[in-house]
Chain A
Amino acid sequence: MKRYFSIAVLFLLMVSTVSAQLDRTTPPEPGPAPEVKIGDYKTFTLSNGLTVIVVENHKAPVVSYSLTLDVTLPREDNAVGYVQVAGELLRAGTTNRTKAEIDEAVDFIGATLQTHSKGIYARSLSKHNELLLEIMSDVLLNPTFPQEELDKLVTQYKTAIQANKEESRAIAENVAGALVYGKDDPYGEIVTENTLDNVTVELCKNYYTSYFRPNEAYLVIVGDISVKDAKRQVRKYFGDWEEGSVPQNLFPYPACYEQPQVAIANKEGANQSTVMVTHEAMLTPGHPDAIKARVMNQILGGGSFNARLFQNLREDKGFTYGAYSSLESDERVGRFTAAAEVRTSVTDSALTEILKEMERIRSEPVSDEELQLVKNVISGEFGRSLEDPQTVARFALNIERYGLPKDYYETYLQKVESVTKDDVREAALKYLKPGQAVILAVGNVSAIEEKMKKFSPSQKVTQYDYYGNVVEKKAVSGDIKASEVIEKYIDAIGGSEALTEVDDLKMVMEMEVQGMALQVNLFQKRPDKLYQETVMNGNVVSKQVFDGEKGKMQSPMGDQVLEGEALTQMKESAKIFPELTYVKDGVKLKMKGIENVDGKETYKIVVTKPSGTESSVFYGVEDGLKYKEVAQTPQGTVSTTFADYEDVEGILFPMTMKQVMGPQNFDIQIQSVELNTGIEDSRFEVN
């Protein structure tokens, strides 16, 4: 008892001493670094040429079988998609089993069986593995590619294309692929409804017979199995697989651009843009530069919180939820991509920052601290990845496939540690090409097109669709002039005679801001008198008054007498129907062609007021009505859309307006419009 007591006291004493000493202001020192061990693997080859890699790991009673073809894919020409379809169809029926029987057998043991154009992946509890292998070898050796399963898949693919048209990332991938590789390159080919119509059972069978050959394949077995059992199983289930010569496909390396290619694509109703800077990279797996290039990319925009793109675009500017870059090696054509989803108003700023960061890492040495941090990130990630036995298998496969030195991964961390600042800069100069990149934004094209011009030395911005085809700007029919569009608009809402008769106007609007209801009362009187008040909970919170010459704004921040540019702008917006006097007022109009606004064809007119303020206004081709206005203001771009036109004493007014200003979004409902009620001049007095 006594002894126990003293130990307890000792323990308490020790604990309290420890906490008394705790200095929270400095981070603790690490203990001695643990040893990172890469698990072992065994390889052997069957007489038909199949190379097998086995990684034993008995932590969980699970085993996986992953078959990978080491082939280069053919070009698919007018049947793009057939290679992928062939891969999926492998498990859709064999000479022994229907698809339903395969599904049932796989699901019954709770297993996974996936087939794809370059292989098969199967996994189950080890107690079920013989059953799993039986099905796996059946789909590998005896697939039948049933017509009805092909038809089903094609329908699903077509439906998926439809869905992808709304995905800005999917649009961006297609456009970027077409531009980086070229649409004739197998990497740049795009699956369309038309190419899917050309996919046949025969094409799928040909692909299978030509490419699924053991002599160009690796089987990787990982998990709760002995090498001896693995050998026996492989002979039994894959020994009869016949070898054969596999076609070699050689394609030219895609041509590089001389200058940046600036591309945009439209995503209807987008309030964010997907921005991307991307280009090819001549970097093969295991290339001597690969590790240096990885360190470089990690500093620029790899997955860490401290990467430059993440810090700059998210933590510093708040443009986005995340910004990342990747530099992928590939046996044929590698690729660099930096991308982010950003709010529409900063589409160009975000690209500017991405390009700036690419230039910076090319021109300035990285700091010692940054370099060390990234090395630590990479080593940490390496260590963590070894928890998964699949990592060991992947290392083994890479060594075999790419002919890497046997100790490539054992010495990986040493190689990372030896990367210098000069190495990083050299890798940046070699593998980052901001001047030859595809610079792409997918979003609301009418809001981003102009802003994208600055990225092209020749001011050229090309619009693409989901299929990577150039969108031709629709020519304006005949030679309709901007002024005629304005005349048509005036006619459409009631005609100049009716409009001229409006002497004054009172409009009540309602909107919600941050959960609070606001009412805006607008009074206007000819020629240029304006009074506007904003009411919240019955109290006037702000006011703008303009008597034709003088103007004033009142807000909780105080009163402000309008002067200079602000006064001119107020005068320009005080008119009830400004279009009526465009000519007299010296407003300049420019026809910009036909564009789509919420599914409607509109004429886009750029309106420049004498003060220099510019806005784009969209008038319906069919009905002449105004549907949208995008104005540049000191507060940023303000985009307003108009809808639900209703007749008020012979004149049409939009009853719904949506205004987007930076991150804010206002839905404005017009409650009432009254005309010629005889508003007193005193309403507009500025004092």
Chain B
Amino acid sequence: MKKMKRSSLFLLALVLSGSVMFAQQRQIEFTEYDLDNGLHVILHEDHSTPIVSVSVMYHVGSKNEQPDRTGFAHFFEHLMFEGTENIPRGEYSRYVEKSGGTLNANTSADRTYYYEILPSNQLEMGLWLESERMLHAKVDSVGIATQKQVVIEEKKQNYDNRPYGSILIEVMKRAFKEHPYRWTTIGDPDHIRAAKDEEFQQFYDQFYVPDNAVLVIAGDIEPEKTRQLVQKYFGDIPAGEGEIYRPDVVEPPLGGEVRDTVYDNIQIPLVLHAYRTPAMGTEDYYALEMLSTLLADGQSSRLYKSLVDEQQIAMQVSSFPLPFRDPSVSIAFALPNMGKDIEELEQAMITEIEKVKNNLIDEKEFQKLKNKFENDIISSKTRIAGIANDLARYYTYFGDTDMINSELDKYMSVTREDIKRVANKYYTKDNRVVLYYLPESQKN
């Protein structure tokens, strides 16, 4: 029984970091193929627990939205539980739960993911449900009206009312001027309010088509029988007709430090640096991720040790790159201890970053970094649900499902020199957004 909740701040880190996942050292075996309608199918067999995960990743996220309809992809995710031609409103989740399964979905800037985890004898149920969703989901105006309210409450609960909940929104709108990453998945509630019912149908027809999706079935399955069932339920879903909107905006360089203050309902200030970084999957990205870990992951990390333990000017530090498909940002932030000056704290952060830029990290610390990645990657691949998500993501982002097995090598081939190099290349003044979060009471 905890008497004091300290979770809020840790939650924040969680919210911001999303799920940063790695590859796997243990070989994950899978087979993959395409249906005639373009649906990509990945099967992974593992009989250790009698469960099966059925999931579909659609290659659509907030990135594919129009600037006056932000939040659409995420809102759509809510609507996709409303029902289909054959499944009345509210029954979708009932079928899953009646089968002893669980379901959920999530949306990012780059993709939308739906999954059911079921007892393995209910595989066909999962396929029926996901194929219904892909073939002819149905949304009535009652559902739209209700989910509009739900999503607006979601925004308040997770963004407006959560201390620092607006961080990503505030960072992204300053770090990007052209690219759709300038808004976040929750979007602007007014856009959702203003959307007409027929716009949802258009969105569905464009993006929710087999040739824009990958179906992953993982767990206690027989591959041959599963293939037949996949054909049975998904084979006759027509391919998409129109062109799929994929913005290919290249964001120009930031062109100088952007510095701003945000006043929020908080008690403790926060200082944040967001450095523009290359896309996930590029060589520099792996080095940057290791740099980020070096700086603030673990109690012996550079920032933690220096700012929290030694100087005692911070109560918490954190650092992570946003795992996005297009070039995005890497974020480092710190919360000062009570009564400590936020500018002094920022200066101390910069000093630590300068050390990485000027001196090669020593062999021992580098080995520590590699051990940490090895540990994280191996430990993160023990659940069927996580493996399924990774398979879907590697295929959707890179068209290379086997990266689930090869990505660890990319981290392991990063050198000490690479870390120093990317620190100098990306962690520069002109390439960052600096935000001070200050309590509302300090505003005047």
A binds B: yes
By a beta-carbon cutoff of 8 Å, the part of chain A in contact with chain B is 14-15, 18-19, 22, 24-25, 27-36, 59-62, 73, 80-81, 84, 99-100, 103-104, 106-111, 123-125, 128, 152, 155-170, 173, 177, 186-187, 189-191, 268-272, 304-306, 311, 314-316, 318-321, 330, 341-343, 372-373, 376-377, 379-381, 383-384, 386-388, 513-515, 599, 663
Rounded to whole Å, the gap between the CB of A268 and the closest CB of chain B is 7
**Residues of chain A with a CB closer than 8 A to B150's CB:** 314, 318, 320-321
C-alpha spacing A109/B367, complex, angstroms: 9
**Residues of chain B with a CB closer than 8 A to A104's CB:** 300, 368
Rounded to whole Å, the gap between the CB of B285 and the closest CB of chain A is 20
Please, which residue of chain B has its CB at the minimum distance from the CB of A104?
B300
**Residues of chain A with a CB closer than 8 A to B66's CB:** none
B139-172 vs A, CB cutoff 8 Å, 1 = contact: the mask equals 0000001111111111011101111000000000
Task: Select the residue from A123, A168, A315, A380 with max chain B CB neighbours within 10 A.
Answer: A380
Contact A107 B315 (CB under 8 A): no
Rounded to whole Å, the gap between the CB of B25 and the closest CB of chain A is 9
- Name the interface residues of B383-408: CB closer than 8 Å to any CB of A: 383-384
Known: A110-B372, A163-B163, A167-B8. A84 touches B156 (CB 8 A): no
Contact B93 A306 (CB under 8 A): yes
Contact B375 A272 (CB under 8 A): no
Q: Which among A29, A36, A164 is the interface contact of B8 at CB below 8 angstroms?
A: A164
- Name the interface residues of B263-292: CB closer than 8 Å to any CB of A: 265-268
Interface residue tally for chain B (C-beta within 8 Å): 105
Contact B220 A376 (CB under 8 A): no
Q: Which A-B residue pairs are the 4 nearest by beta carbons? A: A380-B100, A318-B149, A110-B375, A34-B50
Please, which residue of chain A has its CB at the minimum distance from the CB of B375?
A110
User: Which of B37-45, B186-194, B325-333, B345-353 has 4 or more CB atoms under 8 Å from chain A?
Assistant: B186-194
Q: Which among B9, B119, B338 is the interface contact of A33 at CB below 8 angstroms?
A: B119
Contact A306 B157 (CB under 8 A): no
Contact B163 A35 (CB under 8 A): no
Contact B125 A380 (CB under 8 A): no
Contact B368 A108 (CB under 8 A): yes
**Residues of chain B with a CB closer than 8 A to A386's CB:** 49
Q: Which among A84, A124, A168, A306 is the interface contact of B97 at CB below 8 angstroms?
A: A306
- Name the interface residues of B177-236: CB closer than 8 Å to any CB of A: 188, 190-191, 193-194, 220, 228, 231-233, 235-236
B86 interface residue, CB < 8 Å from A?
Answer: yes
**Residues of chain A with a CB closer than 8 A to B228's CB:** 14-15, 18
Contact A163 B9 (CB under 8 A): yes
Please, which residue of chain A has its CB at the minimum distance from the CB of B384?
A387
Task: Select the residue from B68, B156, B220 with max chain A CB neighbours within 10 A.
Answer: B156
Contact B86 A33 (CB under 8 A): no
User: What are 8 of the A-B contact pairs (CB < 8 Å)?
Assistant: A19-B231, A108-B371, A160-B6, A167-B8, A190-B3, A305-B96, A373-B98, A383-B100
Contact B4 A160 (CB under 8 A): yes
Contact B378 A373 (CB under 8 A): no
C-alpha spacing A599/B389, complex, angstroms: 47
Q: Which among B93, B97, B119, B368 is the interface contact of A34 at CB below 8 angstroms?
A: B119
C-alpha spacing A305/B337, complex, angstroms: 41
Contact B161 A272 (CB under 8 A): yes
C-alpha spacing A364/B45, complex, angstroms: 45
C-alpha spacing A35/B50, complex, angstroms: 7
Q: Which among B95, B156, B372 is the interface contact of A107 at CB below 8 angstroms?
A: B372
Contact A272 B156 (CB under 8 A): yes
**Residues of chain B with a CB closer than 8 A to A343's CB:** 152-153, 156
Q: Which among B118, B146, B316 is the interface contact of A380 at CB below 8 angstroms?
A: B118
B359 interface residue, CB < 8 Å from A?
Answer: no
Q: Which among A15, A111, A318, A379 is the interface contact of B153 at CB below 8 angstroms?
A: A318
Contact B440 A59 (CB under 8 A): no
Contact A315 B379 (CB under 8 A): no
- Name the interface residues of B411-444: CB closer than 8 Å to any CB of A: 440-441
B5 interface residue, CB < 8 Å from A?
Answer: yes
B2-36 vs A, CB cutoff 8 Å, 1 = contact: the mask equals 11111011000000000000000010000000000
Contact B299 A15 (CB under 8 A): no
Contact A321 B3 (CB under 8 A): no
C-alpha spacing A455/B233, complex, angstroms: 52
Known pairs A156-B315, A168-B161. 19 more at Cβ < 8 A? Answer: A15-B232, A18-B231, A28-B127, A30-B119, A59-B48, A59-B382, A100-B300, A107-B298, A107-B368, A155-B312, A158-B338, A163-B163, A163-B267, A164-B8, A321-B151, A321-B153, A321-B154, A343-B156, A387-B51
Rounded to whole Å, the gap between the CB of B84 and the closest CB of chain A is 9
**Residues of chain A with a CB closer than 8 A to B409's CB:** none
**Residues of chain A with a CB closer than 8 A to B176's CB:** none
Rounded to whole Å, the gap between the CB of B111 and the closest CB of chain A is 22
Contact A191 B9 (CB under 8 A): no
Rounded to whole Å, the gap between the CB of B83 and the closest CB of chain A is 12
Contact A272 B157 (CB under 8 A): yes
Contact A109 B375 (CB under 8 A): yes
Q: Which among B1, B93, B160, B191 is the interface contact of A515 at CB below 8 angstroms?
A: B191
Contact B232 A166 (CB under 8 A): no
C-alpha spacing A187/B4, complex, angstroms: 11
C-alpha spacing A406/B228, complex, angstroms: 43
Contact A163 B8 (CB under 8 A): yes
Contact A318 B379 (CB under 8 A): no
Contact B1 A187 (CB under 8 A): yes
Contact A81 B268 (CB under 8 A): no
**Residues of chain B with a CB closer than 8 A to A311's CB:** 90
Please, which residue of chain B has its CB at the minimum distance from the CB of A101?
B300
**Residues of chain A with a CB closer than 8 A to B267's CB:** 162-163, 165-166
Please, which residue of chain B has its CB at the minimum distance from the CB of A83?
B3
C-alpha spacing A177/B193, complex, angstroms: 39
Q: Which among A128, A166, A189, A376 is the interface contact of B3 at CB below 8 angstroms?
A: A189
Rounded to whole Å, the gap between the CB of A302 and the closest CB of chain B is 10
Contact A124 B375 (CB under 8 A): yes
Contact A30 B146 (CB under 8 A): no
Rounded to whole Å, the gap between the CB of A380 and the closest CB of chain B is 3
Contact A170 B97 (CB under 8 A): no
Known: A18-B231, A514-B194. A31 touches B121 (CB 8 A): yes
B344 interface residue, CB < 8 Å from A?
Answer: no
B320 interface residue, CB < 8 Å from A?
Answer: no
Q: Which among A170, A379, A383, A514 is the interface contact of B193 at CB below 8 angstroms?
A: A514
B91-132 vs A, CB cutoff 8 Å, 1 = contact: the mask equals 001111111111100000000000001111111110110001
C-alpha spacing A515/B48, complex, angstroms: 53
Contact A384 B9 (CB under 8 A): no
B260 interface residue, CB < 8 Å from A?
Answer: no
**Residues of chain A with a CB closer than 8 A to B2's CB:** 84
**Residues of chain A with a CB closer than 8 A to B299's CB:** 99, 103, 106-107
Q: Which among A34, A100, A169 is the interface contact of B305 at CB below 8 angstroms?
A: A100
Rounded to whole Å, the gap between the CB of B4 and the closest CB of chain A is 4
Contact B300 A84 (CB under 8 A): no
C-alpha spacing A161/B5, complex, angstroms: 8
Contact B300 A177 (CB under 8 A): no
B309 interface residue, CB < 8 Å from A?
Answer: yes
B374 interface residue, CB < 8 Å from A?
Answer: yes
Contact A27 B95 (CB under 8 A): yes
**Residues of chain B with a CB closer than 8 A to A513's CB:** 190
Contact B149 A663 (CB under 8 A): yes
**Residues of chain B with a CB closer than 8 A to A28's CB:** 124-125, 127-128
B376 interface residue, CB < 8 Å from A?
Answer: yes
Known: A22-B233, A272-B156, A383-B51. A377 touches B100 (CB 8 A): yes
B342 interface residue, CB < 8 Å from A?
Answer: no
C-alpha spacing A90/B100, complex, angstroms: 42
**Residues of chain A with a CB closer than 8 A to B119's CB:** 30, 33-34, 380, 383
B335 interface residue, CB < 8 Å from A?
Answer: yes
Contact A163 B268 (CB under 8 A): yes
Contact B5 A169 (CB under 8 A): yes
Contact B232 A22 (CB under 8 A): yes
Q: Which among B49, B68, B305, B381 is the interface contact of A383 at CB below 8 angstroms?
A: B49
**Residues of chain A with a CB closer than 8 A to B382's CB:** 59-60, 62, 388
C-alpha spacing A99/B309, complex, angstroms: 9
